[in-house]
Amino acid sequence: MLTVQNQRSAPATIYVDYGSFDRRLGRVPALMVAVIPPDALFEATLTVDNPRGVPVTVFAEPGTYDVRLGQVPACSRLTLRFPQSVVLPNSSLRVFVHPEGGPDLSSQLLKVAPGEHLALRVPPR
């Protein structure tokens, strides 16, 4: 298991020394802890921090359709896995969350590769 704690006021990019080059694992937002289970180290994952008092449903949008990644309960943090069908070479996707009873929130286009670990903090209201 890999636990990353970022106590800085800015996001941190996490790398692992992988032989003669470094492998990018992902980014951890400011003031957040991301926990990546051992069986997910080679899959693309997204740790979602939901400080809101309502659950949020998380989707990946790799093109013209949406793929539901899962639901993050109110005031909790959960690591979700991207299906292999949306993590394709030379492609981008957008992540968006649907807070219960609120408008959708969307990321910019992201390039996600197998083994990358991203983190997302849902903004409080």
pLDDT at 90: 81
pLDDT digits (tens, 9 = 90+) for 71-109: 999 999 999 999 888 888 788 899 999 999 989 999 888
d(CA 114, CA 89): 9
Nearest alpha carbon to residue 122 among 94, 87, 91, 98: 98
Give the list of residues 6+ apart from residue 28 with CB closer than 8 angstroms, or none: 4, 5, 6, 11, 12, 14, 34, 47, 119
Quote the distance between the C-alpha of residue 39 and its chain's center: 16
Which range in 32-41, 52-61, 75-84, 115-124 is most confidently predicted, on average pLDDT? 52-61
pLDDT, greater one: 53 or 88 = 53
Q: Name the pLDDT band for 119 (thresholds 50, 70, 90).
A: confident
The arrangement of strands across the sheet holding 117-121 comes to: 12-18, 21-28, 117-121, 45-50, 76-81
Neighbours of 59 (CB within 10 A): 18
Residue 1 confidence (pLDDT) above 70: no
Q: Name the pLDDT band for 2 (thresholds 50, 70, 90).
A: low
pLDDT, greater one: 63 or 3 = 63
Residue 59 confidence (pLDDT) above 90: yes
pLDDT at 9: 79
pLDDT digits (tens, 9 = 90+) for 22-46: 666 777 777 776 666 666 666 888 9
H or E element, residue 56: strand 56-61
Neighbours of 89 (CB within 10 A): 7
Give the list of residues 6+ apart from residue 109 with CB closer than 8 angstroms, or none: 92, 93, 94
* Residue 86, SS3 per DSSP: helix
